[in-house]
Amino acid sequence: MTLLGGGLTNREIADNLGTTVGTTKWHIHQIFRKLHVRNRIEALIQGRELLTLASRGHELAPAGPTPEPIRRTELAILGLLNQGMTNQEIANNLAITIGTTKWYLNQIFGKLQARNRIEALARAQQGEWL
């Protein structure tokens, strides 16, 4: 859970644990199954009591200044991401297409200097946008 919370990829988790990507995926699936969740974000939400920023051990380096301000729609998407929603659920919730949702996510990743949803959420919390 700590490595998932750090926004690491399956490859990075495998390297960190000295195991294979396949084994890492199996363990992540077991975590999802035990927590009754569908993805990493939901797993982190469910395990939030167990996972605190102080005990993560993999703090993100501070992001540089955002090149552009975070827009209202991007903040809404971050809020929905924080609830563990999928791209399709976000699109349905905001009455936009899934393609538009993906475009906004890429904009958010760029602005927050994040590689994935987990890092974006961590950076949004650092910047107090959540």
The reported pLDDT for the residue numbered 53 is 43
Q: What is the pLDDT of residues 11-38, one digit of tens each?
A: 988 888 888 988 888 888 888 877 777 8
> Does the model's pTM come out above 0.95?
no
Find, among 15, 8, 24, 14, the residue nearest to 58 by Cα: 8
Q: What is the pLDDT of residues 32-68, one digit of tens each?
A: 877 777 888 777 777 765 445 434 555 555 666 656 7
Check whether 73 has a pLDDT greater than 80.
yes
CATH fold for domain 2-55: Arc Repressor Mutant, subunit A (1.10.10)
Whole-angstrom CA distances from 5 to 50, 59, 107, 117 are 11, 9, 21, 10
Residues of the chain with CATH 1.10.10.10: 2-55, 72-126
CA atoms within 13 A on the CB side of 87: 12
CA atoms within 13 A on the CB side of 86: 6
CATH architecture of 72-126: Orthogonal Bundle (1.10)
